[in-house]
Amino acid sequence: MTATRRPSLVDQVRSGLLEDLVSGKLAPGAKLPNENEIGERFGVSRATVREAVLGLMEAGYLARRHGSGTYVTKAPRSRHALDSTVSYTEMIREAGHEPGVMVLSNTVREPTEEEAELFDVTGTILELERVRLADARPVIYSRDSIPSALIEGTPPQAMFRSLYAVLAEAGHEVRRATAELLPVLADTKLARVLEVKRGAPLLHIDQVDYDTKGHAVMLSLEWHVADAFELIVNRRA
Amino acid sequence: MTATRRPSLVDQVRSGLLEDLVSGKLAPGAKLPNENEIGERFGVSRATVREAVLGLMEAGYLARRHGSGTYVTKAPRSRHALDSTVSYTEMIREAGHEPGVMVLSNTVREPTEEEAELFDVTGTILELERVRLADARPVIYSRDSIPSALIEGTPPQAMFRSLYAVLAEAGHEVRRATAELLPVLADTKLARVLEVKRGAPLLHIDQVDYDTKGHAVMLSLEWHVADAFELIVNRRA
DNA sequence: GAGTGGTCTAGACCACCGT
DNA sequence: CGGTGGTCTAGACCACTCC
């Protein structure tokens, strides 16, 4: 259905300002009008302007300086940042490569002890073993586990699409995730599926995805080829 | 001086709620009073309550459900998350280890091409080569570069403390940072200083720190021992 | 001192959840 | 339907920056 909702006033102001940014009407380093003037332009209150600006600040486009003004950031936002996207398909595409997926296995099995503890629901686990491709080159090997109960009725061929889309359609949209990072060496199996040498450096990511209600809905074990694409993390004090 | 500033009302409400959380008065899964009641309790308006709750949501303690209520998150917040701290000293301490630092070198030199482009100021670069310890075990080797102009007048012995503290005192408090992650293998030098085998897996982090004005103030090249402590990244959709 | 963002209020109406 | 969070307003005063 993808209900077409009226964008909030905050959204409208944010989009309006963003348009000025990408069109170049507001160049990097330029100073924005003050908050009252922006409010007049869009016909909204100052509180609404502030929330819109806050969003653009978090996205890295703007910087506020108390007592001075609001300015356009010089350094453009880093794409495919690890902390602001959860979809690797998107990440690969934004890095300028053609994303692809190869399904190695698709099984239903009993939960492991770790999974039984992690997931609130009981029952079997659907495990998907895949290799992601960037321009036909293997870049990520992953083993994803989802409780079968969460995606009952989803046709098997849907598994070839994004698991996030599958979960969202089943009413379990992923809102946030926790990822643990660990550098490892490629063993024989990983070397084969990722087409690297045995002992090559890989980044292992152990990730748990949570839906809007805060329930764990997917466990992902991933191994990333070292130089496939830049993995960026934005850190804040 | 560390000016003692009156905490804002938002801070007071956030602290008050946080106290209930850590004391267990509000158990995981419990439902909070509605926003008007919280406002009455602290004597503030609903907007103030909402901003405080927003902070606790971003920190992962609370979850709001439209039309239902605000609830205490079940999974406790992961400590030493890579995206919410920039100080490794803190990270090591929170992981339950005694942090330590060994300074390998402390030199002043001309900027590299990359540094000249990155930093807004000109002049020489102060480079600090260090090994961080957790309970006397080497866990991170780092090479930090700061434009000398930014920390003029800082006594040399200050370099043994946190560089973030040094920068903050010089009026360049670090607000955010961008980190690029890359799994690598230990070469001979890294193996020696980190006391691991040659070819051992390491996590290389290439980080740029920015101050409140958005200017780059420090460039850090780091190599982390694989299993020293868990590196977590919180991701949001 | 003039102008900016930072904080806060009191109230209104809307959208969603559960009974 | 009542209760919850989601959005928004109009106005006030404070804190900081810069001339």
Give pLDDT, residue B91: 79
First to last CA, chain B: 40
Q: Which of these, B159, B18, B153, B10, lies nearest to B76 by C-alpha position?
A: B18
Same domain, B99 and B194: yes
Q: Identity (one letter) of the amino acid at B149?
A: A
Mean of the pLDDT values across residues A51-77? 82
Same domain, A162 and A50: no
Q: B235, A86: Cβ pair inside 8 Å?
A: yes
Pairwise CA distance, residues A218 & A214, whole Å: 12
Give pLDDT, residue B87: 75
Of B184, B227, B235, the CB nearest to A177: B235
Q: How many domains does chain A have?
A: 2
Same domain, A15 and A82: no
Range of the domain at B34: 9-72
Given B72, B101, B118, the domain boundary residue is B72
How confident is residue A85, by pLDDT bands cut at 50, 70 and 90? low
Of B83, B179, B185, the CB nearest to A201: B185
Q: B226, A85: Cβ pair inside 8 Å?
A: no
Q: Identity (one letter) of the amino acid at B156?
A: P
Mean of the pLDDT values across residues A80-87? 65
Given B72, B100, B127, the domain boundary residue is B72
Q: Identity (one letter) of the amino acid at A122?
A: T
**Minimum-distance nucleotide, CA of A53 to C1':** C5
Give pLDDT, residue A4: 47
Mean of the pLDDT values across residues B87-98? 80
Mean of the pLDDT values across residues A15-33? 88
Q: B181, A232: Cβ pair inside 8 Å?
A: yes
Residue A109 in domain: yes
Report the mean per-residue pLDDT for chain A: 84
> Angle at the Cα of B177 (from B172 to B178), degrees rounded to 5?
145
**Locus of tokens 């929330």:** A51
Which 3 state secondary structure label does DSSP give B185? strand
Same domain, A62 and A103: no
Distance from residue B64 (CA) to nucleotide C17 (C1'), in Å?
A: 12
Given B24, B54, B72, the domain boundary residue is B72
Q: What pTM, to 2 d.p., does this model score?
A: 0.74
Question: From B198, which residue of chain A is nearest by alpha-carbon distance?
Answer: A199
Residue at the smallest CA–C1' distance to nucleotide D17 = A67
Of B83, B174, B180, the CB nearest to A231: B180
How confident is residue A5, by pLDDT bands cut at 50, 70 and 90? low
Same domain, B47 and B151: no
pLDDT digit string, tens, across residues A179-219 = 889 999 999 999 999 999 999 999 999 988 887 666 788 99
Enter the tokens of residue A86.
Answer: 């959860």
Name all contacts of A225-228 with Cβ < 8 Å and 24+ positions apart. A225/A138, A225/A139, A225/A140, A225/A194, A225/A196, A225/A200, A226/A200, A226/A201, A226/A202, A226/B182, A226/B183, A226/B184, A227/B182, A228/A134, A228/A137, A228/A139, A228/A140
Chain B, window 52-111: residues with a beta carbon less than 8 angstroms from a chain A beta carbon: 63, 65, 71, 73-75, 78, 82-86
Share of chain B above pLDDT 70, in %: 86
> Side by side, which strands form the sheet with B99-109?
A231-236, B174-185, B201-211, B216-225, B137-147, B125-134, B99-109
Mean of the pLDDT values across residues B87-93? 80
